[in-house]
Amino acid sequence: MKRLSQSLEWSMTRFLIAANVGLFGFAVIANAMEVEVRLPFVLLSGPVVGIEARVLEDVIEKNPGITTVILKNSKGGDANAGYMVGELIREHGLDTALSGYCMSSCSRMFLGGTHRSFSDDQPLEKTFVAFHGNYADDGRLLTARMPGLKKWILKYSDGKANPQLVQQWVDLQNHSGFAYFYHQQAKVRLGPEKVMLCQGTEEPKARAQQCEKPEFGDALSNGIVTTWVVLQTKLQDAGQSPDLVINHEEKR
């Protein structure tokens, strides 16, 4: 009965969010990030369309028990929304965690976390955060925005991101190019740093071989994450509450 009650609560959360974004039109609702509250977490997944900051602000207000924003399987989208959500998360002192891929504007949301980590929600080999520059709708690199983006990255990585590495990824000419950061324990053949820089012209199945392996530090030394401790988010035993569980041990 308790499980049913909480399922209804989660469904109601989704309904309220849909109602909040309804005035933007059906097309936006169909393509917006999916938001799910599982205290103390809120999960954001899917494309970034531009309304995320307002929606997240409303969710935080209605759920004061939220401590962590989990970013799950998002290829990004609207650049300004990425900045705004990242800044909103930092303003509220919330943590962020990765589940699966978090790319482009999603990566800026991730950097907003006070503490930033990988989670156990998906295998580490399938979990990464990926950064690149700002691009026009036609894919053209917006060079005028590079200095601002670089400054923002340096600030929200707590001053730890290597400026040379950041310069390389904000200067990627192809919007399909990214700097990928994996956990140190991920079983991927990317060298000791577990970082790869792809120009966007590589064969998708051969990126691990064809992309550069820059030696400017790993995700931790660059301030992309603040700890290697993997956030524990597995469901509890069937007889207990299905809320996700957080492990607060060792937040460096």
| pLDDT per position as a tens digit, 172-210 | 999 999 999 999 999 999 989 999 999 999 999 999 999
CB 193 within 8 A of CB 221: no
Q: Residue 32 has what pLDDT?
A: 80
Residue 78 lies in a domain: yes
Asked if pLDDT for residue 54 goes beyond 70, the answer is yes
Lowest average pLDDT, out of 13-17, 162-166, 180-184, goes to 13-17
**pTM score over 0.85:** no
Q: Residue 17 has what pLDDT?
A: 43
Q: Residue 198 has what pLDDT?
A: 98
The per-type count for the chain, helices as H runs and strands as E runs, is 8, 8
Residue 48 lies in a domain: yes
What is the domain-level CATH number for residue 66? 3.90.226
CA 147-220-42 angle, 5° bins:
85
Q: Residue 236 has what pLDDT?
A: 35
Extended strands (E) in 21-119? 34-38, 41-45, 68-74, 95-103, 116-118
Distance CA 36, CA 46 (A): 12
Confidence of residue 252 (pLDDT cuts 50, 70, 90): very low
Q: Residues of the chain with pLDDT > 90: what percent?
A: 79
Count of positions (residues) in the chain: 252
Number of domains in the chain: 1
Q: What is the pLDDT of residues 16-53, one digit of tens each?
A: 444 344 333 223 345 689 999 999 999 999 999 999 99
Q: Residue 163 has what pLDDT?
A: 98
Mean pLDDT estimate for the chain: 85
Residue 182 lies in a domain: no
Asked if pLDDT for residue 117 goes beyond 60, the answer is yes
Residue 192 lies in a domain: no
For helices 146-156 and 163-170, angle between their N-to-C axes, nearest 10 degrees: 140
Average pLDDT over residues 124-144: 97
Which residue range(s) make up the domain with 67?
Answer: 2-130+137-159
Residue 195 lies in a domain: no
Residue 168 lies in a domain: no
Torsion on CA atoms 217, 155, 37, 53, rounded to nearest 10: -140
Residue 71 lies in a domain: yes
Residue 23 lies in a domain: yes
Q: Residue 25 has what pLDDT?
A: 29
The first and second tokens of residue 135, run together, are 């691009």
Lowest average pLDDT, out of 114-123, 146-155, 239-248, goes to 239-248
Distance CA 125, CA 127 (A): 6
Distance CA 64, CA 83 (A): 22
SS3 52: helix
Average pLDDT over residues 201-221: 96
